Amino acid sequence: MAYGGIISVPRLHITGALLLTVLQHAVALELGQSCVNPSGESGSCILFRECQPLVDIFKKPFNTPDDTEFLQASRCGDLQGKPLVCCAGVVVEERTTLPEPPNCGTQLSDRIYGGQPTKIDEFPWTALIEFQKADGRSGFHCGGSLINPTHIVTAAHCINAIPRSWKPHRIRLGEWDLGSNSDCLDDFCAPQPVDLEIEKIIVHPGYDSRDKANLNDIALIRFKRDVQYSDVIRPICLPLSPSVRNRNYVGASSYAAGWGKTETASASDKKLKVELNIKSQEECAPIFARGGIFLKPSQICAGGVRGKDTCSGDSGGPLMRQVSGTWYLLGVVSFGPQKCGTAGVPGVYTNVMEYTDWIKSNIE
């Protein structure tokens, strides 16, 4: 449809049809990112229907060629088929703001010991932490979860319970097969993974590496620059809303995913996933208490089926569940039985629902 034909669209039905055929060359930005409009004014990339100045232009009885050109040039992206426009004067949220659905927890594919290989674009928030060692070598030994363009959540023990000569060096996102330079599966090839330098590490102040229970085993890592989202790099949602945070997940199935990277072991070149049932504290706590480990409500237990455990996940990696079509980060891989996949002994995860306030207060 020629743009001029859009004038005849009923004015009360402003939909994604607006500008869809004439803005193929627009720069694709994310919802809320800063931008500059055609007049050179700073603004924010938001839904068209929420930008009153542009809606007013669109609603004029007659659009001049200048109006048409301005509307076309204001397009900055797309959100699930709905146009995003650069709206001047809108306060841009800080780049560290935590996303909420539908801007997190989505993947293109909605189709570990006991783990199954993932699709290339499955769980696109999984991250790897690369450590530099004293002998000049480097390696991936922990994981994490991308929560916005500048931060991952990981485990505190990945920072404070590692050999002294190791230094967290970079974060890798968009990885699938560590043994291959090009990740391809069937007819899909992923972009190259992205390595990001670390700007800052924040370990929960209540974490003590001498504590056998690994309480408060959570940390944040901030990158030096924003990461650009893609088919294989997207954030997972945090359980921020009461409806998600206060839900009872006991007995529910959840997933862990990763490469089996821990401080001492490596399981797989390809990203794996494993399904795990969440256990109640009443069922789980006595198992660990026998070994002098006393769990708290700030921890979650999951798994305990022979041959299925987070040996397929990573230390610091995600325990996640899909709620109403959106993936949420429920836990961070903390510790488990000495022998992975031991029947009757679940893995222990830091309960992210207990730490959302801490996370929000520590992203800058």
- Residue 321's contacts (CB-CB under 8 Å, 6 or more residues apart) are 249, 252, 253, 254, 255, 327, 328, 330
Please count the residues of the chain: 364
**Cα 332 to Cα 362: distance, rounded to the nearest angstrom:** 17
What DSSP designation does 59 have? H
Burial class (CB in 10 A: 0-12, 13-18, 19+), 359: buried
Query: What contacts 24+ positions apart, CB below 8 Å, involve 289-292?
Result: 291/212, 292/212
Six-digit token pair at 364?
């800058």
Q: How many CA atoms lie within 13 A of 104 on its CB side?
A: 21
The residue among 132, 118, 158, 100 whose CA lies nearest residue 326 is 100
Cross-strand partners of 321: 328
Instruction: Give the catalytic positions in this structure.
Output: 157, 217, 315
The residue among 20, 42, 22, 21 whose CA lies nearest residue 33 is 42
Secondary element (H or E) of residue 331: strand 326-335
Six-digit token pair at 345?
């002994």
The sign of the torsion formed by the CA atoms of 223, 193, 204, 244 equals positive
